[in-house]
Amino acid sequence: MPSLTKGPRWPYTILGASFAVLGVVLVGYGLLRQRQVEAAITRGDFAPPNEILIAVLAATSMLLGVALLVLVVVS
């Protein structure tokens, strides 16, 4: 998209890097969560998810999505 517009490229770089960081965090949490659930199953227990972290990750995802939408529409 930046190559199609005459505007600055830095907003796309920041958003792209932010999505990359979010992806790494989501994969890391997924691995941690998988291990927690596996250990709980082995014990015959339940491992509740970290609801605050899930809410933060969901809010961050939505914020980045809206920011990208605004950037594309404005450009």
The H-or-E segment that residue 4 falls in is: none
For residue 36, CA distances in Å to 12, 29, 33, 42, 49 come to 36, 10, 5, 10, 9
Q: Using one digit for the tens of pLDDT, what is the confidence trace for 23-73?
A: 999 999 999 999 999 999 999 999 999 999 999 999 999 999 999 999 988
What is the pTM for the complete model shown? 0.82
